[in-house]
């Protein structure tokens, strides 16, 4: 059977099976090494107030949010682009 991608769409290498997680958008069960991880920082203070507080020397904590997306949702949101057939397997 032909291989579509060098990694077969995963990043696990030769370590056997990996833990499954749920997509943050659709709830699909996806292997953790196949899911796309998106980390964003969430600002709890509006920007104008944050600028004034930083000028006064205050530390503003910005918690990070981690989201995992399945391949179909990550393509839909533009996290992963659709590649041409010739660009898929970069040996």
Q: Where are the domains of the chain?
A: 21-77
Residues 28-80 pLDDT 10s: 999 999 999 999 999 999 999 999 999 999 999 999 999 999 999 999 999 99
Q: What angle do CA 38, 41, 45 make, to 5 degrees?
A: 155
The answer to whether the predicted template modeling score (pTM) of the entire model surpasses 0.85 is no
- Asked whether 43 and 63 are in contact (CB, 8 A), the reply is no
Q: How confident is the model at residue 13 (pLDDT cuts 50, 70, 90)?
A: confident
Q: How confident is the model at residue 90 (pLDDT cuts 50, 70, 90)?
A: low
Q: What angle do CA 61, 64, 69 make, to 5 degrees?
A: 165
**Residue 9 DSSP class:** T
Residue 91: the pLDDT is 56
Residue 14: the pLDDT is 86
Residue 4: the pLDDT is 85
CATH number given to 21-77:
3.30.1740.20
């Amino acid at each position: 059977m032909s291989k579509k991608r060098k990694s077969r769409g995963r990043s696990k290498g030769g370590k056997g099976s990996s833990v499954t997680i749920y997509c943050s958008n659709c709830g699909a069960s996806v292997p953790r090494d196949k899911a796309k991880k998106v980390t964003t920082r969430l600002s709890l203070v509006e920007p104008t107030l944050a600028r004034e507080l930083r000028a006064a020397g205050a530390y503003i904590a910005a918690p990070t949010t981690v989201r995992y997306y399945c391949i179909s949702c990550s393509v839909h949101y533009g996290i992963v682009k659709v590649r041409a057939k010739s660009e898929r397997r970069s040996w």
